[in-house]
Structure 1
């Protein structure tokens, strides 16, 4: 009987899994990718031989995309477990191909940014300093609480603000904090803190587009007031 090498007996640089770890999945052939899914072959052929035979005899990837579970089980060397693994991988691939990504909120104006935070921040009993993280298209990547202060002041350090921005690969920020009094009129401290953060942002390369002060149902935009 003809003897065939198992994948474990192959030189390490020829094994599909090791090659994928070293060079990435894009470097593997269809047979090698399928062999990784199959994991094992049989006494007569390795997983790589089995994968090559399936693709050669059964119209390649199109067969895998269309085949029912029963058709896969009917292939010599492919039992129920291997067939289920193949179908699961194919179905996951189809779902990824159809996946459009989450629809991200886009900040189009100071009002839209304020609306994003208003309901959550208007009734807070302490000053919360937050940042809206944006990508290059002004899509919201997330909001981060940078610090929580006292009843009438918040303390924010540039290090804490930009650490979160860099971590999320943000291209720009909109700053926001609330006034528990309900009056969003910026204080002198608000203006000074904003100037300091603007300067830090220019050095780091992350633009601060606006600073919002959230009151009870109303807000003040530094951008609209010409303070930025």
Structure 2
């Protein structure tokens, strides 16, 4: 392949943040139930802009913030799913039970990826970076998810990585001051992992045009 074939659409986000949308409970006052996800998105985006030196106006990431998201395959969502270079699913019990999240996963997993010229990656590293959002036992995950290398931060104080594994990012954000330092450190390491995937892998653009062809359960392509 030539260098030109490894080019990325300059209008494409670097990463796609895939999450299970929470909705207000019955009789609850209206509120943004996905506020913690948005906080992660903003913090991660800021770090990725810094690490990659993105020009003004270039999107670091994409997340679907439609009020009734998960029901409409918008042009913006299709473009992001088909052109982003890194896919970050926030793994939770709700995520694994969501047909919409399975579609987003499938849309990215169908795209062919390869190492960039001269790049090397650690064993198991791919442009799909599953993140522990709220704790799910690995044995209860479908194989398409459990066989992926989950994000695990390294080179941190000895108590931070276990705290992330036990609480998930949602838990760290829910612990207030007690979880804030761990959250900040974990998100910085996640941004570094995103930047590394962006530099080492290239994912061919493939915009999904037929929602009906996307899987609604977590299966590997070709299964």
Q: Of Structure 1 and Structure 2, which has the larger fraction of its residues in strand?
A: 1
Give the structure, 1 or 2, with the largest relative contact order (CA under 8 Å, sep 6 or more): 2
Same fold, TM-score > 0.5, yes or no? no
TM-score, normalized by length of structure 1? 0.25
TM-score, normalized by length of structure 2? 0.25
Quick check: which has more Rg, 1 or 2? 1
Q: Of Structure 1 and Structure 2, which has the larger fraction of its residues in helix?
A: 1
